[in-house]
Amino acid sequence: MQLPPSKLPDVGTTIFTVMSALAQEAGAINLSQGFPNFDCSPRLQDLVYRYMREGKNQYAPMAGLPVLRERLAEKIDRLYGVGVDPDDEITVTAGATQALFCAIAAFVRTGDEVILLEPAYDSYRPSIEVNGGKAVPYELSAPDYRVDWAALERLVSPRTRMLIVNTPHNPTGTILQAEDLRQLEEIALRHDLIVLSDEVYEHLIYDGQPHESVLRYPELFARSLAVYSFGKTFHNTGWKVGYCVAPAPLMAEFRKVHQFNVFSVNTPVQYALAEFLADPEEYLSLGRFYQAKRDFFLEAMKGSPLRPLPCRGTYFQLFDYRAVSDLPDTGFAKWLTVEAKVAAIPVSVFYSSGRDERVIRLCFAKTEEVLEQAGRILKRVER
C-alpha cells in the first residue's frame, strides 16, 4: 500500500528511549529517566485495591468523578485562593500529556502559530504540528534561562493562536516569578492569545519560593488552560492520571476533544486519589521531600568537575560539563553512559535548533543510595 506523506516526518525514536536502552546495555545508573525509582504511598495503593474490590471498575464520567473534581477544587482554593467550578472547569485526563494534546487540538487550526519556550518538553511540537499548526520557538539561554518578554512578544504575528509556558520548567529547573506572569498576562491580553500552562511540577519548588500559577491571575486565567499531573505529585507516573483546569468556555471546547480522544479515565484510581487528597499534607510535603533529594545529590556531587546550574523546581538538575569535554552534548551523554556508567540527557534535544550549550540533565528523583553512587562516579570524571 502506498502510504500518504507522514504528518510527523521528523519524529523518530526519542532520546529518552535511546539513552535508557544504552544505559541498560552498558549497565549504567540511569539518571536520564524522568521518573522516580521508588514506589508511591502504600496507603494510596491500598485505596486503589479497595475500590477495585468494591466494584468501582466501570467507566467513570467523561469529565472525571465528581468527588475527585470537588477535592481538586478545594485544593486549588487552598493553594491559590481561587474558586473554580468542579463541574465545568476541571477535567480529569489520562495523564498530563493527553491533557496538553487535547488543549492544543481544541484550539490550534491549520496555519495557526504557537509560541513555546525552548528547551521544551518534547510533546509540545508534535502535538502542534499534527494538528496543522506551526511551532514558533523562543530560545532560553543558560545559565539562568530567563525570559525576555519584550523579545518573546516580537515573535507574535497575526497567526499566533497560543502561547505555551511550563513552570516549574523541564528540563531547566527554573520557575516563573510574579513579574513573569504579569508580563505574560499583558501579552496575552494585548494579542488575544490562549495560554497553555504546563504546571505538572507545581509542588516541586524549593527554597521557600511560591508557585506562580496562571490560576492566581484572573485576567490571565480567563484565557488559560492549566495542566497538572498526579503521577508527578504522588510518584506513580505509570498510572497516567492528570487533570486540566480552565474557564468554562475553554473547558467546553477542551471536552469536545477529550471525549473522543480518551473519554474517561481509570475509575478505581480516581476514587483512591479523591480519598487520598483529603489529607493536604500528602502534597504539601513534596517540596521539602524533593528539596532534600536535590541537596543530597548536590552534596554527593561536590568535587565533581561538572558545574551545577541553579535548580529551583522539578526533579531535574542541569550540569555544565565544559570543564570535562569538548564533545557535543549528545556525544558526551553517550560517552558518560558507556564509559562512566551514568546515563544523562543532553539538553540540546529540547531545542528545535539543536542549540548546544554543553549542558546535560540528570534526574534526582532516585533513592539516596543511587544518588550517592552516581555522585562518587561523577566526581572521578576526567577530561
- Asked, for residue 137, whether it belongs to a domain, the answer is yes
Q: Which DSSP string do the residues of 338-368 spell out, in sequence order?
A: IIISEE-EEGGGGSTT----SEEEEE--S-H
Average confidence (pLDDT) over 323-347: 96
Domain boundary among 282, 299, 320: 282
For residue 270, name the pLDDT band (cuts at 50, 70, 90): very high
Domain boundary among 252, 282, 312: 282
- Asked, for residue 35, whether it belongs to a domain, the answer is yes
CA distance 248 to 255: 10
Q: Indicate the range of 17-21, 100-104, 193-197, 349-353 predicted with least confidence.
A: 17-21
Asked if 357 contacts 347 with a C-beta cutoff of 8 angstroms, the reply is yes
Asked if 200 contacts 227 with a C-beta cutoff of 8 angstroms, the reply is yes
Enter the C-alpha cell of residue 213.
Answer: 500559577
User: What is the percent of the chain with per-residue pLDDT over 90, rounded to a whole number?
Assistant: 93
* Sheet order of strands, 194-198 included: 90-93, 242-245, 224-229, 194-198, 160-166, 113-118, 134-139
- Asked, for residue 61, whether it belongs to a domain, the answer is yes
Same domain as 133, residue 29: no
Q: What's the pLDDT at 383?
A: 64
* CATH code (residue 351): 3.90.1150.10
42-63 per-position pLDDT tens digit = 999 999 999 999 999 999 999 9
CA distance 98 to 45: 23
Question: How many structural domains comprise the chain?
Answer: 2
112-127 per-position pLDDT tens digit = 999 999 999 999 999 9
Q: Which DSSP string do the residues of 1-69 spell out, in sequence order?
A: --PPPPSSTT--S-HHHHHHHHHHHHT-EE---SS-SS---HHHHHHHHHHHHTT--SPPPTT--HHHH
Dihedral angle computed from the Cα positions of residues 368, 372, 373 and 374, in that order, rounded to the nearest 10 degrees:
100
Q: Which domain range does residue 190 map to?
A: 42-282
Same domain as 35, residue 173: no
- Asked, for residue 81, whether it belongs to a domain, the answer is yes
SS3 assignment, position 277: coil
Same domain as 258, residue 300: no
Residue type, 29: I
Enter the C-alpha cell of residue 34.
Answer: 524522568
Backbone φ, ψ for residue 44 (5° rounding) = -65, -40
Average confidence (pLDDT) over 151-180: 98
- Asked, for residue 29, whether it belongs to a domain, the answer is yes
Same domain as 293, residue 228: no
Radius of gyration of the chain (CA): 21
Domain boundary among 226, 260, 282: 282
Residue type, 13: T
For residue 180, name the pLDDT band (cuts at 50, 70, 90): very high
Same domain as 49, residue 20: no
Q: What's the pLDDT at 15?
A: 84
Backbone φ, ψ for residue 294 (5° rounding) = -60, -50
Q: What's the pLDDT at 340?
A: 95
SS3 assignment, position 186: helix
Predicted structure pTM score? 0.96
Residues whose CB is less than 8 angstroms from the CB of residue 210 and which lie 6 or more positions away in sequence, other chains included: none
- Asked, for residue 7, whether it belongs to a domain, the answer is no
Same domain as 276, residue 234: yes
Same domain as 197, residue 306: no
Tell me whether the omega of the peptide bond preceding residue 119 falls within 30 degrees of 0, making it cis.
Answer: yes
Hey, how many other C-beta atoms are within 10 angstroms of the C-beta on 148? 12
Same domain as 219, residue 105: yes
Same domain as 176, residue 304: no
User: What is the percent of the chain with per-residue pLDDT over 70, rounded to a whole number?
Assistant: 100
Range list of H helices, 224-264: 230-234, 248-261
183-231 per-position pLDDT tens digit = 999 999 999 999 999 999 999 999 999 999 999 999 999 999 999 999 9
Residue type, 149: W
Same domain as 202, residue 82: yes
Same domain as 257, residue 291: no
The mean predicted confidence, pLDDT, of the chain is 96
Burial class of residue 52, CB neighbours in 10 A (0-12, 13-18, 19+) = middle
- Asked, for residue 301, whether it belongs to a domain, the answer is yes
Q: What's the pLDDT at 5?
A: 87
- Asked, for residue 353, whether it belongs to a domain, the answer is yes
Q: What's the pLDDT at 2?
A: 85
Same domain as 314, residue 240: no
